[in-house]
Amino acid sequence: MSDRAGDRWECGVCWTVYDPAAGDEAAGVLPGTPFEALPDDWRCPHCDGAKARFLRIDDDS
């Protein structure tokens, strides 16, 4: 299954969800920015976990 631009991602450390529709205002990430487009050094806004710790949420249940 390939990733879609609107997929939401969840931090594996603190369970914070990155929603592309909302972006990340604190980090200057505009709404509509897909997770894959975030810089590699982007961190979880809640626990400072690395981008690599995020898992795609399967909303197709």
> Could you please report the per-residue DSSP string of 25-57?
GGGTBPTT--GGGS-TT-B-TTT--BGGGEEE-
Instruction: Return the domain boundaries, the chain.
Output: 9-56
State residue 60's pLDDT score.
60
Q: What is the pLDDT of residue 58?
A: 81
Average pLDDT over residues 39-51: 97
Task: Kindly tell me if the per-residue pLDDT of 12 is higher than 50.
Answer: yes
- Name the least confident of 2-6, 30-34, 45-49, 54-58: 2-6
Of the candidate CATH numbers 1.10.10.10, 2.20.28.10, 2.40.110.10, 3.40.190.10, the domain formed by 9-56 belongs to 2.20.28.10
